[in-house]
C-alpha cells in the first residue's frame, strides 16, 4: 500500500489539505460518484457531521471512518 497523498479541497469556501492513502481517495471518488456529488461536496458533508459530534476527530480520520461505515452498512 502506498503512503498518504495530500490533496487540496475547498470546504465552505475555505481551502484545506487532506492526506489519505490512495485506496481511500479511490473509495471517496467512487462514493461521490454514487451519491451524485462532487468530491468537495461529499467531503463538506462528512466535515459537517464531524464537527457536529461531541469530540471531533481530524478530517482525514472522519473520512476513513465514514467510508468504512458506508461499506459496513451496504453489507448489513
Using a 10 angstrom Cβ sphere, with 0-12 exposed, 13-18 middle and 19 or more buried, the burial of residue 43 is buried
> What does each of the 76 residues of the chain score in pLDDT, given as a tens digit?
679 999 999 988 899 999 999 999 999 999 999 999 999 999 999 999 998 878 888 999 999 999 999 988 877 5
Helix%, strand%, coil% for the chain, nearest 5: 60, 20, 25
Domain count, the chain: 1
pTM passes above 0.75: yes
* Helix (H), strand (E) at residue 20: strand 14-20
pLDDT of 56 reads 84
pLDDT of 76 reads 59
Q: Which of 53, 46, 34, 35 is closest to 9 using CA atoms? A: 46
What range does the domain containing 56 cover?
Answer: 5-75
Amino acid at each position: 500500500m502506498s503512503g498518504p497523498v495530500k490533496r487540496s479541497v475547498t470546504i465552505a469556501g475555505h481551502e484545506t489539505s487532506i492526506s489519505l492513502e490512495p485506496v481511500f481517495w479511490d473509495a471517496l471518488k467512487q462514493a461521490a460518484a454514487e451519491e451524485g456529488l462532487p468530491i468537495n461536496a461529499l467531503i463538506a458533508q462528512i466535515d459537517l457531521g464531524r464537527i457536529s459530534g461531541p469530540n471531533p476527530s481530524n478530517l482525514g480520520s472522519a473520512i476513513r471512518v465514514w467510508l468504512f461505515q458506508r461499506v459496513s452498512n451496504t453489507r448489513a
